[in-house]
Structure 1
C-alpha cells in the first residue's frame, strides 16, 4: 500500500479553516470542494491514459486522453458526497458510483446500507472518497467491496487520517494495489474513535445533524 500526504500551503490553509469549529456549514462545504480538487490532483497522478493523435492549428501532434474503461469515483455516503464536486471538476469523464456505509458508534464497526455500483469492476481504476480515515473500518470495508467486484487498482482520498486507522487499513489490505492520499495525518484517535485534533464529524459539519 502506498501512502501520500499532500504537502502544500494551500491545503494546510484550507484545512485550518475546516478545523475551526466556528466555520459555518456553507463555507465548510465550499472549502471541502476546493480542498478536494487539490487532493484529486495528487490522487490522479497515476490515472490511466491512452495515446491520441490530434491536429493543432499549426500541425499534427501526439497527446493522451483518459483511458478506457473510464475511472470510477465512489464517494462513501454521506460525508463523501461533500468531496464529489471537487473530484469530478478535475476528472469530469469519470463515472460515479455510491456506497452507503455507517459506523456503529458502540462497536465502531462499519455496516453497508446502500450501494449503486457496476457489478463488474474488472480493470477499472476506482477512486474512493471518504473525508475521515479514523478507525479505518469503513474505508477498509469499502475498498474490499470494490475488490470483491473485480477492481484491481483503488485509490482512497481522505482529508484527514489518524495513525491508528491508517495502520489498520494497511494491515487489512496487505498485498492489494491500494494508494491512500491524505490532506494531513493527525495525532491520534480519542476514546470515542474521533480523530484528534481532527475537525469533528464531517457529515454533520457539511449537512447538519440528522
Structure 2
C-alpha cells in the first residue's frame, strides 16, 4: 500500500479505487475522503471519476484552463447532489401517449449565495442545473494573523427568507467564514435547516467546528482532507482555489 502523508498524527485512508465488480488486485490504491461522524455532513461517493478529477485539480502543475475544467465537473456533481436534498412533493403528469406518470416536483423556491470570491466559481454550475436561479453574494475575508473572519459586504435577494439557500464555497478550512455566512443568512430570516452548504474540499477541523456551531445546515462536500497545518491551510489541499481558478 502506498504511503500517505500524516497531519497531527492522523493518517488519511487509502483504498483500492474502482468498480465493485473489479478484483481488488486490479484497483489502484488512492487516498480517499475521511469519514466523519457528523450526521449533517454528506460526502460524495468516492468514485474513480471523482478521485481522478480531484487528482487533477490538486496537481500543482495543472494549468489554469484544465483546473477550471475539472473543477467545474466536480462543482456540477456537488450541485446535482445538493438538489437531491431539497424537499419534493407528489406531482402527476400525462405523457405524450396519454398515460399518467406519478412523479415529484421541487417544493419551494431556491437561490444560491456565493462566499466571494472563490464561491463565485460555483455559480455557473448552479445556473446550469437551475435555470434563472437568483444568486446573492457575501464577502468575508480572513485575517491572516488571527485567522478570524470579517464581514465586508452582502447583497442578497430581498425574499431570501422564503427560499432554500445553496451556500457556495469550495474550501472549508477552519469553518469561520462559512459559519459567519450562515449567521448572515439567519439574520435575514433564513431558517438554518433551509441552508445547504456545497463545498469541494473540507478539513476535519472545519467540519467539526461548522457542525457544532450550525448543526442544522447540511454540508455536501466532495472530500474531507487530512487536516490543517500551522497556518490553518488544508493539507494536502490544492492551494488557493480562487487564485488558481480566476488568475493563475
Question: In structure 2, what is the Cα distance between the partners aligned to 1:154 and 1:142?
Answer: 11
Q: Which residue pairs with 1:47 in the alignment?
A: 86
Q: Which residue pairs with 1:3 in the alignment?
A: 41
Q: Which residue pairs with 1:149 in the alignment?
A: 188
Q: For residues 82-117 of structure 1, what are the alpha-carbon distances to aligned partners after superposition, in whole Å with 9 as ceiling and x for unaligned?
A: 111112212225321111121111111112222110
| 1:54-133 equivalences in 2 (<5 Å) | 54-61=93-100, 62-68=102-108, 70-133=109-172
TM-score of the aligned structures, taking structure 1 as reference length? 0.91
- SS at structure 2 position matched to 1:107: coil
Q: Does 1:30 align with 2:40?
A: no
> Per the alignment, do residues 93 and 208 of structure 1 end up closer, same or farther by CA in structure 2, a change over 3 Å counting?
closer
- SS at structure 1 position matched to 2:126: helix
- SS at structure 2 position matched to 1:122: helix
Matched pairs, number: 206
2:134–2:157 contact (8 Å) kept in structure 1: no
2:205 to 156, 164, 182: 164
**Aligned-residue RMSD, C-alpha:** 1.7
1:71–1:94 contact (8 Å) kept in structure 2: yes
Q: For residues 153-209 of structure 1, what are the alpha-carbon distances to aligned partners after superposition, in whole Å with 9 as ceiling and x for unaligned?
A: 1110110001111111112114xx210111110011011111000000101111126
Q: Does 1:181 align with 2:220?
A: yes
Question: In structure 2, what is the Cα distance between the partners aligned to 1:134 and 1:30?
Answer: 23
Q: Does 1:13 align with 2:52?
A: yes
1:134–1:189 contact (8 Å) kept in structure 2: yes
1:138 to 157, 166, 177: 177
1:186–1:196 contact (8 Å) kept in structure 2: yes
Using CA pairs below 8 Å that are at least 6 residues apart, which structure has the higher relative contact order?
1
For structure 1, the residue ranges without an aligned partner over 5 or more in a row are none
